[in-house]
Amino acid sequence: MLRSTGAGRTWLRCEGGVSPTALVLGIIVVCVALIIAMISFVMLERLLLGLVGSYTSKRAAFFDDLVLHALDAPQYAQRLRAIACCVYAHWWGGAPGLRPFDRWSLERSLLWAAAELRGADRQILTAIFEDAGGLARGLRQLRAFSDHQRLAAVQKLRIMHSRRAVPGLIRALNDRNQSVRHAALRTLGELGDEQAYPFLLDALEAPARYAPYWAADSVLAAGSAIVPLLVARFATLRDPQIRMLYVRLFGLLRDPAVSQHLLPLLDAPDISLRIAAIKTLSAIGDAEFVGRLHLMLADPHWEVRAASATALGALTDLESLPTLARLLADPVYLVRYSAAHTLSTLGTDGQAELRAAVEANHPHAHAIARQVLSEHAHGLL
């Protein structure tokens, strides 16, 4: 190491090594080279994707035509099935001139058409998709390492409405990714296969693993066919939150068969559960419990009185007019408003009760009747 001092400057030079300046320049050159390489890689990737996308869109026109013709006549469906078998088996060439990447175009056309179809037409495309190898490939994708690929596989099987995928989708309910589990739940609900129903209810009762909204949405997608199993499960439930969720689902499904199982809940000690039962029974439209509602208008809990008044309006019960008119003087505002709102929906007789309350001297009844009549006049109800 040599040290030299001159003109107020000190510098160092490594003897037999690399100078600091050369080392810095080398690092800069390497960084610039890496940046250029990364930019080149991104540009090349985008170029390749653009070429593939352009190629795929052109080939999509060919497969769109095949798919549309397959819905017109059996011979065209057989031709699409044969071509699809070749595409999934990677047998390029042949009479149609099949090429690499045709699988992307074929699946795009199948998914596009299946998403718009129902009934027998979609069944034609689903059978072709399953028999040609699309189902087998989708089930393999359900075991892929990438979360994105597994989610894409579930969505593909949902659009194609592939019932033969039910066992694989049931296994996907244990996927490590929550989005994949939720997508599998929704798909199983839409497929409407009875072997999946117990798993849908298991998810409904496991809020720590499945979001309650997604689980409930999947049950609703299954429709009225799942109601008998819901009723059987409901009888064994002990968790108040899960019971509440089931009662609300009954109200959304609106199956009259559940009414007899909900009537005992009108006497439940849990006020929230009683109110949920009132709302569900009114949504179902069960007129048999109207007499119970008349009694519940005098319930000591104001929440029950308010819910009962609203339910009588949903059931259009004109016999409750005198009782509802008395509720206009209830000490709780929400009860008064519920009664007044119901009276306003019960036609001229109900509105006549409100006008009579306006002319009365009771401060509560007078004020709430004027408010609701004004809201009705301005179209706010």
Closest CA to 312 of 328, 295, 326, 293: 293
The predicted pLDDT at position 33 comes to 85
Secondary structure (DSSP) of 198-247: HHHHHHHT-TTTS-HHHHHHHHHHHGGGGHHHHHHHHTT---HHHHHHHH
The predicted pLDDT at position 288 comes to 77
What are φ and ψ of residue 244, in 5° steps? -60, -40
Could you tell me the two tokens for 320? 């409750």
Per-residue pLDDT tens listing for the chain (381 residues): 444 444 444 444 445 556 778 777 878 888 888 888 888 888 887 777 766 666 666 777 888 888 888 888 889 889 989 988 888 888 877 767 777 778 888 888 899 988 888 888 889 999 999 998 999 999 999 999 999 999 999 999 999 999 999 999 999 999 999 999 999 999 999 998 899 999 999 988 888 888 888 889 999 998 889 999 999 998 888 888 889 999 999 989 988 888 888 888 988 889 999 999 999 998 888 777 888 888 899 999 999 999 999 999 888 888 889 999 999 999 999 999 999 999 999 888 888 988 988 888 777 888 898 898 888 787 776
The predicted pLDDT at position 40 comes to 82
Secondary structure (DSSP) of 339-354: HHHHHHHSHHHHHHHH
Phi-psi region of 177 (alpha: psi -120 to 50; beta: other; left: phi over 0): beta
The predicted pLDDT at position 56 comes to 66
Other CB atoms within 10 Å distance of the CB of residue 96: 15
Contact predicate 81/74, CB 8 Å: no
Domains of the chain: 57-132 (no CATH), 237-285 (no CATH), 288-381 (1.25.10.10)
Q: How far is CA 175 from CA 143, 220, 222, 372, in A?
A: 9, 22, 21, 53
Q: How far apart are CA 240 and CA 270, in angstroms?
A: 9
pTM score above 0.85: no
Q: How far apart are CA 73 and CA 68, in angstroms?
A: 10
The predicted pLDDT at position 2 comes to 44
